[in-house]
Amino acid sequence: MRFVVVPQWQGSGSSRAMRLADGAHAVFGDLPSSATTLVEVPVGAGDALGTRVPRLSSVLTIADQVDRALRVDGSPAVVVGGDCGVELAAVRRALTPGTAVVWFSARPALRDPATTDDPAFAGSVLRALVDEPDDVPEPLRSDRPGVPASRVVLAGVRSWDDDEDSWAEQRDVAAVSALDFSPDELVEAVEATGATDVYVHVDLDVLDPATFRGLLDPQPFGLEPGVLVASITALRQRWPLVGAGVCAFAPADADAAGDDLGTILRVVGALSR
């Protein structure tokens, strides 16, 4: 398994977004150097390109760089963010006709950037990846097929905007609640999509903040690390993994980073073994 580290912060709407870059660099230091590529992220914030999405030009520039890094060979990669916007290129590059995208996160990332109060790209990246190109601003559209909504499985989501809830309900997007979450229930939900392989996205805010500190906006009642690792293991035992992402580590400082790195490496290990 190879690793691509992307210390992007421009997709976040947080005033503390630069902590995401620090988090990506902290993880980079613990990955095998021979199998790891670091994507250079521009210093500038970028602009909205005529949309409501702040810093969109930088997000797209970085997406092109991630795509180039992933094209080096055809093997699956674990992409380490940065904010969840790094998944734009990672998921598009990995998708096959039968891929299910399993989205571990406290939030579904299905906001409509044209109407939401917070149009930062990290909040709408999954919506941009779904195979409905007219549903996102023109600069975010792609010639590549997206993932059908019927093959998206939300895992551990517990903080919805009304628009996201309505959008997902209209398309019958599968969701496995953080409440009484189990790996078996997740596997059943993915089986129901008819998937032939999986892409696994892990936003670390899916974890309960009592067990993981390095988050910009922690949401209560999340998953225990052991449950997350067991769920990833169950998915990998059942389906081939075409790619994965681990995002949103935002340690307050180096000492705080050290407290959480063990959990992150367990997650990365489950994805890559």
| Domain span holding position 17 | 2-272
In this structure, what CATH number is given to the domain that contains residue 20? 3.40.800.10
**How do residues 196-216 score in pLDDT, each as one tens digit?**
999 999 999 999 999 999 999
In the prediction, which pLDDT does 134 show?
A: 82
Percentage of the residues of the chain whose pLDDT score is greater than 70: 100
In angstroms, rounded to a whole number, what is the distance separating the alpha carbons of residues 157 and 186? 12
In angstroms, rounded to a whole number, what is the distance separating the alpha carbons of residues 76 and 196? 15
Q: Is the pLDDT of residue 91 over 90?
A: yes
Q: Is the pLDDT of residue 43 over 90?
A: no
Q: Is the pLDDT of residue 74 over 90?
A: no
**How do residues 156-175 score in pLDDT, each as one tens digit?**
999 999 999 999 999 999 99
Measured on CA atoms in the order 63, 25, 113, 154, is the torsion positive or negative? positive
Has this prediction a pTM greater than 0.95?
A: yes
Mean pLDDT computed over 228-244: 98
Percentage of the residues of the chain whose pLDDT score is greater than 90: 95
Mean pLDDT computed over 65-78: 94
Q: State how many domains the chain has.
A: 1
How far, CA to CA in Å, does 5 sit from each of 53, 82, 83? 23, 8, 11
Least reliable range by pLDDT among 7-21, 86-100, 124-138: 124-138
Mean residue pLDDT across the chain: 96
